[in-house]
Structure 1
Amino acid sequence: MRRVIAAGLDVCCLLVFVAIGRASHEEAASLSGFGTTAWPFLVGLALGWGVTRGWREPFAFVPAGIGIWAVTVAGGMALRALSGQGTAVAFVIVATVFTGVTLLGWRLAARFVRVRSLSA
């Protein structure tokens, strides 16, 4: 169950990233456009979980969180480039920062909650 929750949180982080990005660029709110933007990062996320074997310790900041984040960004950008989507430097920076804050942030928050509950 913890694996499903962790994977779901990761997917939600990426979908929020895509939604905010598309809205900030006033792109049409079409499902196909959303999917076109999201799929490279979702595939990158799946690769990240596979490469790091994230299911072993899905809430771990290291190695799962860092590895999943790195592979998600690298894989997502590579797939965007291969599919003819943009990979401008500013976009790469924003994507790296946003996904880092969210994919790593929820893991840090979960760790903090766990430590606090153990010490209480």
Structure 2
Amino acid sequence: MTTPRLPALALLTDAVLVTAFVLIGRASHSEGLLGTLVTLWPFLVALLGGWLMTRAWRAPLSIVWTGLGVWAATVVLGLVLRVANGQGVQLSFMIVTTIVLGVFLLGWRGVVLLIARARTRRAGLLAAAKRMSTAG
């Protein structure tokens, strides 16, 4: 994957996961598409705000700087936008939002980094084995 495509793919992944969070939450309520869009837009706007604030395109896979910043911004700004728009924000919703978006926005980055680390380690071991087999 080329470097310019990575930020776009990471932003798309974040947006899909924020949308999944809303769809999962809405599944427990019997509202249609309009209800889903009303719930979704504050979090998508907040996600974009988090990307801009953290300059996430520079290191989209970073958990510490990008992941934590995007997560915090998405939760806090999303909840603030909901309140400003007259939508309800109960403590239980705030807790679930914080936990689920944390698992989603940090989790996929962690999985990708673990896979990359395992591939790098494997490539190093294969190169070392090859050097050992040709050295003797």
Corresponding residue for 2:102?
100
The residue number in structure 2 matching 1:73 is: 75
Identity of aligned residues (%): 42
The answer to whether structure 1 residue 55 and structure 2 residue 70 are counterparts is no
* Aligned residue number for residue 90 of structure 2: 88
TM norm structure 2: 0.85
Q: Could you list the structure 1 runs, at least 4 aligned residues long, displaced by more than 3 angstroms after superposition.
A: none
Task: Read off the aligned partner of 2:7 and give its amino acid letter.
Answer: R
Q: Which residue of 2 aligns with 1:24?
A: 28
TM-score of the pair, normalised by structure 1 = 0.96
Unpaired stretches in structure 1, ≥5 consecutive residues: none
1:65 & 1:115 partners in 2: Cα distance?
18
> How big is the shift at 1:29?
2.5
Deviation readout 1:15-58 (Å, 9 max, x if unpaired):
11100111112x2232x221111000001000100110001000
If you compute each CA radius of gyration, which structure gives the higher value, 1 or 2? 2
Please, which runs of 5 or more residues in structure 2 have no aligned partner?
Answer: 123-136
Please give the alpha-carbon distance, in whole angstroms, between the structure 2 residues aligned to 1:89 and 1:34.
20
Partner in structure 2 of residue 117 of structure 1: 119
Inter-partner Cα distance in structure 1 for 2:111 and 2:101: 15
